[in-house]
Chains A and B, each alone.
Chain A
Amino acid sequence: MEKASHLSVIVDLSPTQWHLSAQTSNQYPLSIETFLSQLLAFLNAHIASKHENSLVVFGALPGKSVLLYSSTELLSDDVPSLDANSYLPFKLVDSTVVQRIMNEFDAIGELEEEPSCALVGAVTKALCYINRITHPSSTTAGVAEDPSIVHDPRILILSVSPDLSSSYIPIMNAIFSAQKLKVTIDVCKVYGPDTVFLQQAAHLTNGSYIYLERRDALLQYLIMSFLSPTSIRKILAVPKQDKIDFRAACFCHKNIVDIGFVCSVCLSIFCQPLPVCSTCRLATLVPWLPTLTLTDTERSSLSIHSNDSMLLAPFSLLQTHA
């Protein structure tokens, strides 16, 4: 029997964005109720595929991220009543997720200025969760072929908010951890402009990034692109992006830049040159030359003439691919 797979779903629950998405001025307005009903059908489909499939749902709210549902730990006290016409695990997922989301929305209340959505926090929590279940700390049983050991962890991010440039560094760190854990990150952009960082996340972890054009067909998009585990994706292809926007955000002001300055030692990106790199404290005595591009000979001649007692190469210019 093939192994179980794990799916972590991160739902972006920023109230302002959802309000905008439900406006009828959009070509395909999508309110959060419709979205949730289609998402729940997708979650049920994942659980239906195999008895041992595990599922965890995180919600990213303004200012905090919460665990909405986890199939391995039962958090809610009131188990829904059993009903002859529905399968209990499905009912459990659906009622827990909806109940929790309602509670969180009630708790938000009225705020002057909405803090930014904690998407990165949710991604980090999802990675920690996956790490916990794939490498159980106590190997008492040590059963090598236990079917409930997770084989193929995936993260699905359903995003409606635009990019948050202050989250560039945390997202890149999350991507590197995901690569180490062999986690596939898929992204579905439900509403809002294209997010650069999430595109990179999907590309670097071999996942798929979808920008929804037909929002009324959300469920079909979800099922065809994000339901299949990695082993099936080698047989039935899922859509991926061809052109990835590889822009980065600078470390000093958190602006997204096309052209910037890169420290030669630690590769931190800055929009303006600094005498001392803030990450690795590399110091340089060579002043910034007003020419935009340095040829190789000029650059090497500069380094020869620098002061030998202090550190080494000057800043170099780097143009990122647009």
Chain B
Amino acid sequence: MPVQSLQNTDVIVPQHTPHPLLPFLQSQSQTTLTRLYQRPSSCLSIFRLLGPIERQLIMNLLWLESALSVATISAWVLPEGKDAYDSALAVMTGLHIAQNSAVKLALNPTFKSSLRQAITGGGSTGSFGVPTDKDGKRQSANIENLDAYALERWETILHYMVSSGQGQNPTKPSQGVLYLLQRSGLMNNAHGPALQITSSGFQFLLHSPHDQLWNLLLQYLHMAEERQMDLVEVLSFLFMLSTMDLGREYSTEPLSETQKAMLEDLRDYGLVWQRKTSSKRFSPTRLATTLTSSSPPLPSSHSTGGSHTADGTGAVALSSGAAQQGFIVLETNYRIYAYTDNPLQTAVLNLFITMKYRFPNLVVGMLTRESVRKALGNGISADQIISYLTTHAHPQMRKNNPLLPVTVQDQIRLWELERNRLKSAEGYLYKDFASQADYEYVLAYAKQLDVVLWENAAKRCFFGTLEGHANVRGFIERRTGSV
């Protein structure tokens, strides 16, 4: 799954992990990408998804009229940054943003002109969304309502996934969402008519909201071609949403048919809000506007006094007030105290913790061998459990160094290693060789083919893999035939 590359468990070393959408974009053809680059908002959003070196290189080349020779640019690169520079160039060439010949380096002209338009404003593509005037008759959605709507939709999906195997009956998300979950491998109906969560689904639950959102959107993009939706239109609509202003209403008039059809799906995921299905306006929620940034996409589930400014875009530094606060306290005696009343978070914790007590604002549980083994059996890894606990650690825990007690971390990993005691492999046992020389000759041949799993020289037998059996058998028959 492409999301695996985003697992950045070591929070101390800041390194740039490439965004999961980039491999998908690189697999598209040049014409598709050039059509996508005709819209300034798409260029701006893709620009934000790239790494810092790529962004600086693009900016360096943006306002130049002619191509720059490769030697000039490499003269700017310090020796220790050579590898990073080369990989950045490779990314840019793969996305057809830069045309890289051996001698000269220039930007794709469509990308160049669109990004210039994005930065200076202008052009006539209307790619940032056509805003509508405030409708005096009906009340438009304000930011709190939008946040609440997005949170409710998103958590419905996750809650449905968590409680699918446990006999509860939560509210079902819409058919489109269920279909998407099934296609992405997060749930399947292998164990019965109803959908059940799979092991990749369990891993999905422990990711951050950004990763989860992009995971689902990537799946949606993969399915888009089968549903005969133009990929460029789908992508441009998503990128347009990411540049929109939170709390404004936009008109659906200039959207194409594909994009109007997308509105319904996006409503189910909680990305946009519409008063009713036939409404001519829509508003993006915070999930949509933070697609290309790393600000928290969902408000905290506790009702902290939201720092609310008149203009949603200005709340860059103020969004820390609405950040998802940590709520888990982990003690060295394996007890966990989670200060939450959110049923989804409780359900996720229940995956690997034995619950002991529930209070209106507190859930107490213990990390036991059985509970962790149950989670490991479902496909969750020890690292995921540890990173989930780290990300959601209560601010009080920050006083500890390291954050989680080392004993508990080690013990979770040991419980995971317990499952690795036995490894089984199917194959064939070769024994009863006529002489030592025969045995060694066949063994040497099998080792050449690299199919030997185990050997015992004293008993003159060895174990070979299933795939190599045909070759070894043929070899023996040829030898016995010729002798």
Contacts and interface: CB of A to CB of B under 8 A. Distances in A.
A231 B323 CA distance: 26
A235 B81 contact: yes
Interface stretch (B40-48, B104-112, B156-164, B467-475): B40-48
Contacts of B243: 87
A297 B128 CA distance: 77
A144 B398 contact: yes
Contacts of B325: 141, 143
The contact size tier of chain B is 35 or more
Nearest to B251: A84
Contacts of A234: 78, 80-81
B290 interface: yes
A194 to B, nearest CB: 24
The contact size tier of chain A is 35 or more
B309 interface: yes
Interface stretch (B118-126, B179-187, B359-367, B446-454): B118-126
Contacts of B11: 144-145
Interface stretch (A50-58, A109-117, A304-312): A50-58
Contact of B323 (A89, A146, A219): A146
A61 B311 CA distance: 29
Nearest to B120: A41
Interface stretch (B29-37, B58-66, B194-202, B215-223): B58-66
A85 interface: yes
Nearest to B121: A86
Interface in A8-62: 41, 44-45, 48-54
A206 to B, nearest CB: 14
Given A2-B14, A148-B320, A87 B292 contact: no
Interface string A143-156: 11111111000000
B310 interface: yes
B127 interface: yes
A19 to B, nearest CB: 26
B379 interface: no
Contact of B47 (A48, A71, A85, A237): A48
A71 B314 contact: yes
A44 B62 CA distance: 13
Contacts of B23: none
A117 B126 CA distance: 42
A141 B304 CA distance: 10
Nearest to A142: B395
A228 B318 CA distance: 24
Interface stretch (B49-57, B332-340, B346-354, B418-426): B49-57
Contacts of B299: none
Contacts of A87: 41, 44, 118, 121, 128, 243
A240 to B, nearest CB: 12
A146 B320 contact: yes
A91 B294 contact: no
B131 A54 contact: no
Contacts of B76: 236-237
Contact of A82 (B14, B59, B131, B320): B131
Contact of B123 (A48, A52, A85, A228): A85
Contacts of B14: 2-3
A235 B128 contact: no
A132 B53 CA distance: 29
Given A45-B119, A92-B313, A50 B80 contact: no
B437 interface: no
B133 to A, nearest CB: 10
A90 interface: yes
A229 B123 contact: no
Contact of A229 (B48, B52, B119, B293): B52
Contacts of B48: 48-51
Contacts of A41: 63, 119-120
B192 to A, nearest CB: 40
A142 B398 contact: yes
B247 to A, nearest CB: 11
Interface string B135-151: 00000000000000000
Contact of B59 (A45, A88, A133): A45
Interface string A213-237: 0000001100110011101101111
A301 interface: no
Nearest to A5: B52
Given A84-B129, A84-B131, A219-B63, A2 B316 contact: no
A91 B131 CA distance: 15
B254 to A, nearest CB: 8
17 contacts: A49-B48, A50-B48, A71-B316, A72-B316, A85-B121, A85-B122, A87-B243, A90-B119, A90-B121, A92-B311, A94-B121, A143-B320, A145-B11, A148-B317, A150-B317, A235-B85, A236-B85
Given A72-B316, A147-B295, A148-B319, 7 more contacts: A41-B120, A49-B48, A52-B293, A82-B245, A84-B131, A144-B398, A223-B62
Q: Would you list the 9 A-B pairs with minimal beta carbon distance, nearest first?
A: A235-B81, A51-B293, A86-B121, A84-B126, A82-B131, A142-B395, A1-B294, A72-B317, A84-B130
Interface of A: 1-3, 41, 44-45, 48-54, 71-74, 79, 82-92, 94, 133, 141-150, 219-220, 223-224, 227-229, 231-232, 234-237
Interface of B: 11, 14, 16-17, 40-41, 44, 47-48, 51-53, 55-57, 59-60, 62-64, 76-78, 80-81, 84-85, 117-131, 243, 245, 248, 254, 290, 292-295, 309-311, 313-314, 316-321, 323, 325-326, 395, 398
